[in-house]
């Protein structure tokens, strides 16, 4: 699977997980409708399914996915929560993405 497709799949996977966790947060912390739990559960099902589509061993996918999740969570902080990331948020996200790239795209012998 080409690198750009893998990264895109990670981004969509992260969005599914963040949405699946954010909706219950809105219910629990912000007093929003309990009905948000239905799309939250569906989003988490999609998240788990998307993780299964990655072309490598599950442990490697989970480890690398964490880096993309960190990056996407910082984007969410900015786009949805309206909080501008600090320089340290950005540095940490870049380090996490470098870690993801090393884990997913390093040469391996078969």
Give residue 110's pLDDT: 63
CA 22 to centroid of chain Cα atoms: 12
In the chain, domain spans: 3-105
- Nearest CA to 72 out of 100, 109, 45, 35 is that of 100
- Nearest CA to 40 out of 27, 50, 53, 30 is that of 27
**pLDDT tens digits in sequence order for the chain, 110 residues long:** 788 898 899 999 999 999 999 999 999 999 999 999 999 999 999 999 998 898 788 888 888 899 999 999 999 999 999 999 999 999 999 999 999 999 988 887 76
Give residue 54's pLDDT: 84
Distance CA 12, CA 68 (A): 10
Distance CA 46, CA 52 (A): 10
Give residue 109's pLDDT: 76
Give residue 87's pLDDT: 98
């Amino acid at each position: 699977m080409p690198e750009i497709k893998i990264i895109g799949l990670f981004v969509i996977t992260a969005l599914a997980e963040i949405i699946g966790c954010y909706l219950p947060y809105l219910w629990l912390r912000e007093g929003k409708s309990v009905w948000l739990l239905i799309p939250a559960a569906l989003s988490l099902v999609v998240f788990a399914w998307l993780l299964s589509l990655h072309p490598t061993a599950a442990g490697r996918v989970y480890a690398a996915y964490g880096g993309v999740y960190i990056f996407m969570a910082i984007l969410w902080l900015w786009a949805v929560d309206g909080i501008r990331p600090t320089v340290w948020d950005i540095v940490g996200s870049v380090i996490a993405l470098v870690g993801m790239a090393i884990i997913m795209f390093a040469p391996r012998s078969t």
